[in-house]
C-alpha cells in the first residue's frame, strides 16, 4: 500500500515539476529577458526543485490520509500510544 502511495506522489510531483518548469522558463524568457541558455537553466532548476518539494508534500499528505483511515477504523485501541 505504501509503494502505491509513493508512486502516486511521484506522478503528481512530476506533473507539478513539469508545469512549474515551463512557467519558470516562460517568466525567465519573457519578463526577465534571459537568453536561451539562462532560460533553459532557470526552467530546469525550477522544475527540479518544485517537483522534489511537491513530491515530498504529496507523499506526506497521502500518508496522513492513510494513517487517519487506519486510526478511524480501529477506535478501540490507539496504534500509536502517546507518552
35-71 pLDDT, tens per residue? 999 999 999 999 999 999 999 999 999 888 888 877 7
Does some domain include residue 69? yes
Segments forming the whole domain that contains residue 63:
9-73
Does some domain include residue 79? no
Does some domain include residue 13? yes
Single pTM value for the model: 0.74
Does some domain include residue 67? yes
Does some domain include residue 81? no
Total domains in the fold of the chain: 1
- Give start and end residues of each alpha helix (H) in 1-83: 2-26, 36-73
pLDDT-derived band at 23 (thresholds 50, 70, 90) equals very high
Which of 70, 78, 54 lies closest to 2, judged by CA?
70
Which of 20, 38, 19, 21 lies closest to 29, judged by CA?
38
pLDDT-derived band at 75 (thresholds 50, 70, 90) equals low
Determine the 3-state secondary structure of 61 from DSSP. Answer: helix
Query: Which comes out higher in pLDDT, residue 18 or 83?
Result: 18
Asked if 53 and 12 touch (Cβ cutoff 8 Å), the reply is: no
Burial (CB count <10 Å: 0-12, 13-18, 19+), residue 57:
middle
Does some domain include residue 23? yes
Q: What is the pLDDT of residue 21?
A: 95
Amino acid at each position: 500500500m505504501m509503494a502505491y502511495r509513493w508512486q502516486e506522489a511521484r506522478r503528481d510531483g512530476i506533473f507539478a515539476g513539469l508545469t512549474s518548469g515551463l512557467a519558470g522558463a516562460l517568466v525567465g524568457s519573457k519578463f526577465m529577458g534571459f537568453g536561451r541558455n539562462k532560460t533553459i537553466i532557470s526552467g530546469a532548476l525550477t522544475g527540479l526543485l518544485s517537483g522534489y518539494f511537491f513530491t515530498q508534500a504529496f507523499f506526506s499528505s497521502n500518508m496522513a490520509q492513510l494513517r487517519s483511515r487506519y486510526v478511524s477504523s480501529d477506535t478501540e485501541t490507539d496504534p500509536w500510544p502517546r507518552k
